[in-house]
Amino acid sequence: MRMNQFDQLPDQARLYVFGASRPVTPTERDILLGAVDEFLGVWQAHKADVVAARDWRHDRFLLVGADEEVTALSGCSIDSLTRRIKELELQLGCSLIDGGAVFYRGTNGIERVSREVFARRVAQGDVGPGTIVFNNTVTTVGHVRADNWEIPFERSWHAQLFPTPGLTEAGK
């Protein structure tokens, strides 16, 4: 199986973003990335090698990209990645898969909160149009390269779901 460097993946490579529920220590990071590298080294879809790579950002985010022009992912291959990440969650004692969490840059660095807490912070003005949020719903490596992952709140889907007082359609 070929494993690329993340920056060698094409823009259209499929992307999965996993956000850690807390900052990961250097030792935990080494365990996580070693296990992910091992998994990617044998990852297959329909008995064909998946060309994949990973990146680690901000001590919180694991990005896994797969070049589907070489090998199309299957439901089973995606499930195997998810299973491996869930096993690593147990080993590390922190969540990496939580679709309901919102990540943003707050006064204490990168914060992970529930949607309810985020909505309160928006309403209170603690999160404003320029607050950087992480759009973990991006689906391609190209989205990250085009600055669609770390973006101001006012340009994100978050602004539609959590309206900001004073932010109008003209301000978007």
43 closest CA partner among 31, 32, 56, 52: 52
* Residue 163 pLDDT: 77
Whole-number pLDDT of residue 171: 45
Domains plus CATH for the chain? 6-92 (3.30.1370), 101-136+148-164 (no CATH)
pLDDT in tens, the chain (172 residues): 456 799 999 999 999 999 999 999 999 999 999 999 999 999 999 999 999 999 999 999 999 999 999 999 999 999 999 999 999 999 999 999 987 899 999 988 999 999 999 999 999 999 999 999 999 999 999 999 999 999 999 999 999 888 776 654 444 4
Q: What is the pLDDT of residue 165?
A: 64
Sequence-separated contacts (24+) of 114-122 with Cβ below 8 Å: 115/161, 115/162, 118/158, 118/162, 119/162, 122/153, 122/162, 122/163, 122/164
